[in-house]
Structure 1
Amino acid sequence: MKVLVCFVLSYIACAYAGSLPSFITPCSRSDPNLNECVEKVISAAGAKFTEGIPELGIAPLDPVELGTVVVNNPALKITFTDTVVTGLKGFRVNTYKINPEKGKATLDFTANVTLKAHYDMNGQVLILPIRGNGQSKIKITNLNIVVKYDFEEKDGHWIVPSYKDHYKMDRAQFKFTNLFGGNKELAQTTERFTNENWEIIMSEIAPPALNQIIKKCVDQVQKFFAAIPARELLP
C-alpha cells in the first residue's frame, strides 16, 4: 500500500547524491520529462527497494510488520495483533508528478495486498452480530493509493513536513477462523455476509491499518534523510 511513498521520497533524496544503490538509476533535474523518468525508475527499482537497503538503514517493506492494529467504534471493535502485510513488492505505478522548486510531488500506484493477523472481534455489521478470536486473512484487490507530499530542507537535511492521501479498492475478501467459538453454521453465514458487505468492513479496518503503514514508511525515510545532508542530495 502507502509504502511506495517511502521509495519515492528516498529516490528524490538520493537521486543526485552520487552514492545511489546500484539498482537505482538517477534522473536529471533538468530533464524536460522528469516525471516520466522518475516514474520509470520507481517501476524498475521499487521491488528491490521493498526488500530493504541495509547500508542506508532502510528496513524491508514487503513484508511490512504492523504489530497491533485497533478498530474501535461504538458498533464494531477489532484488535489485530502480529499483523503482517505482503504484496507491496508487486506494485505498479500509475502516474508520478514532481515539482522540485516548490517541493511538492504526487504518486499514484496500485497493488494487490494481503493482511494476516490474529484477531479479536466483537460487535455488529449492520444488523448482524459478529464475534470471534482466531486467525484472520484479508486479501485486497487493486488497492489504489494516491499520495501527495511536501519536502523541504531544515538544518541542512531534507524533511517531509506533510502529506495527504486517498485510496480506493476493487474488492476485499475476508477469512476469519473460530468465529462464534467455532460454531460452523454461524461462522459460514457471517463470513458470507462480511464478504458481501466488504466495503462496510473495510471502511473501519483500512484507516488504522494504512496509518500504521505510512508511519513505517516515513520512519525509514527520515532515517535516510538524517544520514545524508541535503546539499549532497540536490546539488
Structure 2
Amino acid sequence: MKVRVYLVVFLQFLGYSCGVLSFKISDVFPVCKKNDDQCLTAAIEKALHYLCENGLPELKLPKLDPIAIPEISIGTKGSAADISQKYIDVKLHGFKKASVSNAHLDWEKKKLTFTVFAPQLDQVSSYDFNGRILIFPIRGQGKAVLSQSNVTVYHTIQFDTVKKQDKDYFKVVSYVISTNPSKTSFKVDNLFNGNEALSERVHEVVNDNWKVLWDEAKADVDLTYAKVYETFAQKLFGKLPISDLVIQA
C-alpha cells in the first residue's frame, strides 16, 4: 500500500500559539493522582467531549466533531482492491457520543493507552476513484459517505518529557491507533456515469464484502487520523505542564 496524506493545510491551521492560556484547565482535563487509571479514563473522556463540542480556540484547535481534513489520498493494492482513492473536504462525525475506557499511563515505559468506543462514525467527503474493487472497474467523482457502527479505536501514545521554564511537559514521540468497526458501509454517487443499476449492484457487493476491503485500507486510514490526534495531543501537552495534569504524590 502507498498512502499520501495531505494534511499540510490542516496542520498549518493548527500552528503553534504562544499566547497566555485563557481557559480553565480543569474544564478540559481534570487533574488526577498518579497511577489512578479510573480518574485518567474519566479525564480523557471529559477532554474528548469538551474538544468535540468546543475545540480550543486559544490553541487554534478546531472542534473534534466533526474532524476536518482537507484531503486524503490512498493507493490500495491488494487482492480485493487495486484502486487510487482521493477524498476531498473530509468530515468525520460521531465522536461527541463516544466513551473512553481502560486508560493507563505507564510512567516507566512512557506510554499512554486508552480505548474509545463510538456507536456510529460517518465520514462524509467528495471522492475521486480510479481502479478496481473486487471484480468491478471503478472510476468516478462525486459525494461519498463511509459509515461505521460500534467502532472501537485503540490509542497508544509513546511520550517523552521535556523541561521548559523549570516545568516538565509531555512530548508525543509517536501516536498509533487501531480502528475496529463491527460493520462498515459505503455510499458513493455518480458511479459509472449515472448507471444506477450497475451502481446499485456494486454497492451491494462492496457492502457485503466490507470486511476484506476495510482490512486492506485500514492501515492507511489509521495513519491519517493518528496524525490528526497526534497534533491535538502535542498542542495540549505542549501547553499544559505535567504538574497541572497529574498529582505526583
With the shorter chain as reference, the TM-score category is: 0.7 to 0.9
- Write the distance in 2 (CA, Å) between the matches of 1:230 and 1:43: 18
Q: Give 1:185's aligned residue.
A: 197
2:150 corresponds to which of 124, 139, 142: 142
RMSD, aligned CA: 2.4
Q: Number of paired residues?
A: 215
Percent of aligned pairs sharing the same letter: 26
Q: Give 1:20's aligned residue.
A: 25
Q: CA offset at residue 45 of structure 1?
A: 4.3
Which structure has greater strand proportion? 2
2:185 corresponds to which of 160, 173, 176: 173
- Superposed, 1:101-120 pairs within 5 Å as 101-111=108-118, 112-120=120-128
- Write the distance in 2 (CA, Å) between the matches of 1:84 and 1:131: 22
- Superposed, 1:57-96 pairs within 5 Å as 57-74=60-77, 75-96=82-103
Q: Give 2:174's aligned residue.
A: 162
* Greater relative contact order, per chain length (Cα 8 Å cut-off, separation 6+): 1
Q: Give 2:38's aligned residue.
A: 36
TM-score, normalised by the number of residues in structure 1: 0.81
Question: Judging changes above 3 Å, is the alpha-carbon distance between structure 1 residues 20 and 101 closer, same or farther for their aligned structure 2 residues?
Answer: farther
- Write the distance in 2 (CA, Å) between the matches of 1:233 and 1:48: 16
Question: Can you give the 5+ residue segments of structure 2 that lack an aligned partner in the other structure?
Answer: 1-23
| More deviation, 111-120/165-174 | 165-174
Deviation track 1:64-109 (CA, whole Å, cap 9, x = no partner) reads: 1122111213421111111111111111123211223442221112
2:65, 2:96 within 8 Å by CA — same for their partners in 1? yes
Question: Can you give the 5+ residue segments of structure 1 that lack an aligned partner in the other structure?
Answer: 1-18
- Write the distance in 2 (CA, Å) between the matches of 1:45 and 1:155: 24
TM-score, normalised by the number of residues in structure 2: 0.77
Q: Give 2:106's aligned residue.
A: 99
